[in-house]
């Protein structure tokens, strides 16, 4: 470079250019000048040694805003811009002409009122705009109609959801389990009863396979039956258990197939009912019938046997004949008493037992009870102790029914107290009740038998008890009669010691009010 140029290059720029090992670009101003200079420098190597440095400096060209070159470029740009505008106008015009046919896609009754026709001199663009306005009006009309239809659908959806909520609430209130599945046996609905039984939450059950919800192979097997014959009649109910969830309880499972208007299968509804109490009642009824048959057969057999012997003339001794007649008479009385007791039990259980309450003088009532057992007590040489206060309160009771109940208690004391024993009949005034107490020195009742003494036909297995004739209905009917009078019966007993029975009946003042 000429000396006057080299001397104007800043020293730091020269040093950077000479000692930099690679290609380098620098921008700087010459000393004493405002002109910017761009310098490119690269070292030259020969035989692995630096032989020199090539440096190239460039000054940027001075360009005027209104130079000829710039004006030419601006003119060309303006030309192309105007050409693009004109071309775009005609392209858009051609495209808009197709919109004139939009109105043809709408029904005639939905066409909005059209504007007055244009004069001849109107431009073609104005015609296209008029067509667009008509199309926009039609679109707006369609949108409005769609909005109205959407509102109607939303209203119907709200009503459907409300009805669904109501139906779900009703099904949740039903006192047995209901589960609904689709055609693939996925759970669609399950009510609250079954959720509680299965100890599950609804969100953990819905949309899951039935087999994953109810781990009961009997129910799953029954639900899997889908042939047309079974669908037309529905499978027979099955009985099953949930040993882990409800031990000791039995359930009846019924499956109903759900179909649409074309009789196509849409799902199943499975109902699960707890029939434990019904099964117990059924077993109890069967036992009741068996006991009644046994109790009726025994006296009838005796009557038939003795009467046949008398009719055939097998018994000729007068005393023996009298004994046979007495036995037939006693068995007949026993049979009549049993039938009467059964009728009373039936009336009580059906709620048709009539209780005719009236004022009862307690002293006369007690005399009647004791009179009924005195003869038997004398025959067994039993001592009857009577404990009563001087002033006995009156009772408001059905005298016949209540007297029968007390005589049943006294009769049991007579029956299960051995000869030369003692029976105490005590009456006391306890707050708002009259207490009748029967205390005997008989065989007593074992602890395991006490909880069952009021069950119909229940009799202890103790030999001393089974040796005596009885139906096992006495205390059952006694307890029911006491309860009908608003009273309470309590039994305390020890085997080999005796029994203490207490019957409490409300006093007349309890009903009539104290003076």
C-alpha span between 399 and 228 (Å, rounded) = 66
Q: Using one digit for the tens of pLDDT, what is the confidence trace for 84-101?
A: 888 887 777 676 666 555
CA of 20: how far to CAs of 26, 55, 57, 145, in Å? 12, 12, 16, 79
Q: Are residues 377 and 505 in the same domain?
A: yes
Residue 228 pLDDT level (bands cut at 50, 70, 90): very low
Q: Residue 254 belongs to what domain range?
A: 174-274
Please indicate whether residue 355 or residue 288 has the higher confidence score (pLDDT).
355
C-alpha span between 473 and 475 (Å, rounded) = 6
Q: Using one digit for the tens of pLDDT, what is the confidence trace for 167-187?
A: 888 888 889 999 999 988 899
CATH code of the domain in which 333 resides: 1.10.287.130
Whether residue 80 is predicted with pLDDT greater than 80 in this model: the reply is yes
Percent of the chain with pLDDT strictly greater than 90: 14
Work out how many domains the chain is built from and give that number. Answer: 4
C-alpha span between 440 and 424 (Å, rounded) = 6
Is 442 part of any domain? yes
Residue 121 pLDDT level (bands cut at 50, 70, 90): very low
Q: Are residues 402 and 429 in the same domain?
A: yes
Which of 304, 327, 352 is at the close of a domain? Answer: 352
Residue 160 pLDDT level (bands cut at 50, 70, 90): confident
Q: What pLDDT does 124 receive? A: 63
- Number of Cβ within 10 Å of residue 64's Cβ equals 9
The chain-wide mean pLDDT, for the chain, equals 81
- Six-digit token pair at 248? 């000791």
Whether residue 234 is predicted with pLDDT greater than 80 in this model: the reply is no
Q: Using one digit for the tens of pLDDT, what is the confidence trace for 488-515?
A: 999 999 888 999 999 999 887 644 444 4
- Average pLDDT, integer, range 440-462: 84
Considering the entire predicted model, what is its pTM? 0.45
CATH code of the domain in which 198 resides: 3.30.450.20
Q: Using one digit for the tens of pLDDT, what is the confidence trace for 375-415?
A: 888 888 999 998 988 887 778 888 888 888 898 899 889 88
Q: Are residues 304 and 390 in the same domain?
A: no
- Average pLDDT, integer, range 29-46: 82
Q: Are residues 178 and 231 in the same domain?
A: yes
Is 150 part of any domain? no
- Cβ atoms of residues 387 and 426 within 8 Å: yes
Q: What pLDDT does 67 receive? A: 63
């Amino acid at each position: 470079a000429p000396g006057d140029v080299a001397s104007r290059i800043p020293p730091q720029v020269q040093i950077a250019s000479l000692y930099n090992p690679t290609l380098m670009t620098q921008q700087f101003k010459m000393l004493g000048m405002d002109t910017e200079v761009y310098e490119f420098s690269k070292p030259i190597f020969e035989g692995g040694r630096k032989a020199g440095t090539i440096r190239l400096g460039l000054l940027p060209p001075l360009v005027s805003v209104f130079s000829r070159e710039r004006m030419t470029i601006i003119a060309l740009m303006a030309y192309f811009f105007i050409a693009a505008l004109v071309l775009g106008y005609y392209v858009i015009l051609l495209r808009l002409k197709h919109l004139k046919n939009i109105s043809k896609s709408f029904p005639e009754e939905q066409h909005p009122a059209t504007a007055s026709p244009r004069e001849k001199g109107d431009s073609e663009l104005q015609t296209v705009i008029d067509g667009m306005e008509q199309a926009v009006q039609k679109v707006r009309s369609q949108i409005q109609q769609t909005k109205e239809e959407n509102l109607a659908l939303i209203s119907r959806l709200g009503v459907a959801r409300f009805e669904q909520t109501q139906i779900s609430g009703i099904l949740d209130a039903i006192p047995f389990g209901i589960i609904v599945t689709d055609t693939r046996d996925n759970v669609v609905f399950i009510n609250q009863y079954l959720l509680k039984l299965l100890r599950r939450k609804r969100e953990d059950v819905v949309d899951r396979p039935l087999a994953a919800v109810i781990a009961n192979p009997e129910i799953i097997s029954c639900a899997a039956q889908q042939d047309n014959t079974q669908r037309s009649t529905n499978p027979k109910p099955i009985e099953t258990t949930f040993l882990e969830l409800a031990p000791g309880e039995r359930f009846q499972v019924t499956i109903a197939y759900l179909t649409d208007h074309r009789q196509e299968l849409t799902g199943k509804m499975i109902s699960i009912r707890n029939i434990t109490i019904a099964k117990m009642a059924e077993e109890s009824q069967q036992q009741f019938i068996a006991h009644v048959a046994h109790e009726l057969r025994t006296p009838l057999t005796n009557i038939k046997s003795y009467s046949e012997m008398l009719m055939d003339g097998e018994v000729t001794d007068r005393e023996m004949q009298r004994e046979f007649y007495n036995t037939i008479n006693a068995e007949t009385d026993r049979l009549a008493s049993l039938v009467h007791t059964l009728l009373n039990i039936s009336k009580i259980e059906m709620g048709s037992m009539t209780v005719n309450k009236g004022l009862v003088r307690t002293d006369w009532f007690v005399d009647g009870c004791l009179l009924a057992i005195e003869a038997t007590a004398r025959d067994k040489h039993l001592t009857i102790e009577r404990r009563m206060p001087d002033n006995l309160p009156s009772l408001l009771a059905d005298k016949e029914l209540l007297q029968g109940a007390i005589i049943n208690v006294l009769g049991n004391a007579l029956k299960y107290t051995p000869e030369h024993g003692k029976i105490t009949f005590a009456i006391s005034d306890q707050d708002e009740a009259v207490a009748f107490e029967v205390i005997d020195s008989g065989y007593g009742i074992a602890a395991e038998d006490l909880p069952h003494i009021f069950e119909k036909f229940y009799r202890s297995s103790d030999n001393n008890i089974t040796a005596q004739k009885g139906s096992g209905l006495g205390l059952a009917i006694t307890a029911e009669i006491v309860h009908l009078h608003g009273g309470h019966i309590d039994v305390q007993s020890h085997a080999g010691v005796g029994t203490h029975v207490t019957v409490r009946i409300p006093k007349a003042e309890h009903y009539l009010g104290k003076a």
